[in-house]
Structure 1
């Protein structure tokens, strides 16, 4: 399917690494003016250099999605440089995994810290709220737009040791459905993508046995690639997806039915 995004200005949060980089490349290849919001300037600059060297339009803005002032400054800089905003992909996310509580000899011996719980909530949930609320007025000015939020298959089934992460990704699905109702009449569609096990730098650090287990539970017999998720993002922001709103697209190789 040919996707044409030549006239679109597309923000990708967390666009300097992993799935974000693949998404920036995919959007740029479809003609979008890609704006990367990330907290890692060196990595962001490298991605922008790669895209511009290939003849694409790209911009990096150092942004902390948990900080409303930083987000608002990034919005202002994006609009000043690009003339407006058409697409927001809320891709930024972190993990801080731990069991809820560990019990030994009848007493708590450890568990998820409040700091780790709060950190994941701030980036994965509040960050999506901050960016979306700040960008929506500019989508309205354009007469419509596209918002895609990063959820996860763990939001649908839970996952051991990920109370904070699962809570945020389930929350993202809830917000997606609310915003689809609120913003659809403005010509803005809001959808979510729920990846399964994706081969990124994070999963590459996992033990081989764990990776083999992931593949064994995935009916297609492999981990997903960042490009698999990027393709889903790109489709949902395209004209071909104009009547898709409030949906959760799983990109998991059938993992949900395979568990």
Structure 2
């Protein structure tokens, strides 16, 4: 896909990976629909696009809410003229062990609320946005691209039952959509990041970060630009579909 003038929707675009991905695509001339729940952060992020070839428009949306997502894509259609691509990046963490015990007595469990919050945003939100994007692409006769952000945690990670399950589901959606949507000229692929330097990982204690880095064969964390470059590769290589690309410095959990 030549990205110039293409309309790309990026969720969770106000900061971190989402913003880096959106900026990278805008540098190639794509017009970006920036999606987030934080209107103030969205306004700040939009200012960074002013000098780039691609234009940016902001939309506030809770992607776990079906009615909001339907309205979102209808508004993007009206304001930007259609949808050529989607990056499903938005996600949250609610980490916790399935069961915590001491001396044979259970002291805590992962709550249903923490489970459901992560599944709602990280999996259901991906489904809803993917469905609506595909719907508009098909009705407009556009050969589009859907890129989902999964994680190497999809293989299982301590303290992340909810997150791992959601990201495994995202990988499954990716391959399913690639098979279902190919007849319409729509490609679907995913990126599975390892440990990336973002606002989220920035809150981790330095000694824990050092321990994490020591487990990575390349001995360093990735940058948001590493993920953005991979997303751009998927968009611009017209024969990439149905695959999950791991970007993790050779660390596979």
Q: Normalized against structure 1, the TM-score is what?
A: 0.94
Q: Name the count of aligned residue pairs.
A: 252
1:249 to 240, 245, 250: 245
Contact 1:38-1:61 within 8 A present in 2 as well: yes
Match of 2:132 among 131, 134, 147: 134
Matches within 5 A, 1:12-51: 12-51=10-49
SS of the residue aligned with 1:237?
A: helix
Q: Deviations over 1:187-213 (max 9, x none)?
A: 111111000000011111111122112
**172-181 or 133-142, which moves further after superposition?**
133-142
Unaligned ranges ≥5, structure 2: none
CA distance in 1, matches of 2:66, 2:137: 18
Equivalent-residue separation in structure 1 for 2:26 and 2:36 (angstroms): 17
Of 210, 232, 235, which residue of structure 2 is paired with 1:234?
232
- Cα shift at 1:106: 2.4
Name structure 1 gaps, 5 residues minimum: none
Counterpart contact for 2:119–2:162, Cα < 8 Å: yes
- TM normalised by structure 2 equals 0.96
> Aligned Cα RMSD in Å?
1.3
How far, CA to CA, are the matches of 2:101 and 2:220 in structure 1?
35
Partner of 1:81: 79
Q: Report how far residue 185 of structure 1 moved.
A: 1.3
Query: Is structure 2 residue 149 aligned with structure 1 residue 153?
Result: no
2:193 aligned partner: 195
CA distance in 1: counterparts of 2:20 and 2:141, whole angstroms: 26
Deviation, 1:253, is 1.1
Do the aligned partners of 2:27 and 2:52 also contact (CA within 8 Å) in 1?
no
Q: Which residue of 2 aligns with 1:121?
A: 119
Cα separation, 2, equivalents of 1:183 and 1:107: 50
- Whether contact under 8 Å (1:180, 1:245) holds in the other structure is yes
